[in-house]
Amino acid sequence: MYGDSMEKSIGKQNIKKSNLIDNILDNLKNIKKNKTKIKLYILLVIVAILFLIALFGQYIVPHDPYAQDLSNALSPPSKEFIFGTDRYGRCLFSRVVVGSKTTMFSALGLWQL
């Protein structure tokens, strides 16, 4: 009595596992067929990340992009200045991140945001 129900439940689990494996394999085949879709999704994620950096960049930059510090003029890339500094000692990474907002919004035609 118990043995029959045990065998049936084990059989159902094997069927479920094989269906799961078949579904995973089918999905992998579909992924190979839809490489263009995957590339599009990856591109959209990258653009979304860049858009968020442009939108909130002024809050995440490590240094003031307009502050001049001539003692750090033309510093090479380091832990403190990721891209280095310009001839006025301004952090290039901070300037690129803050400047990306203007670039992104002008490319999208959203100048007044």
Per-residue pLDDT tens for 8-32? 555 555 555 577 788 878 777 777 6
5 within a domain of the structure (yes/no)? no
**Greater model confidence, 95 or 26:** 95
76 within a domain of the structure (yes/no)? yes
CB 98 within 8 A of CB 58: yes
4 within a domain of the structure (yes/no)? no
Tracing tokens 């960049």 back to the chain, one arrives at: 57
97 within a domain of the structure (yes/no)? yes
Residue range of the domain that includes 87:
34-108
Q: In whole angstroms, give the CA distance from residue 113 to residue 97.
A: 16
Total number of domains constituting the chain: 1
Residue 113 in this model has a pLDDT that exceeds 70: no
73 within a domain of the structure (yes/no)? yes
102 within a domain of the structure (yes/no)? yes
84 within a domain of the structure (yes/no)? yes
Per-residue pLDDT tens for 67-91? 999 999 999 999 999 999 999 999 9
6 within a domain of the structure (yes/no)? no
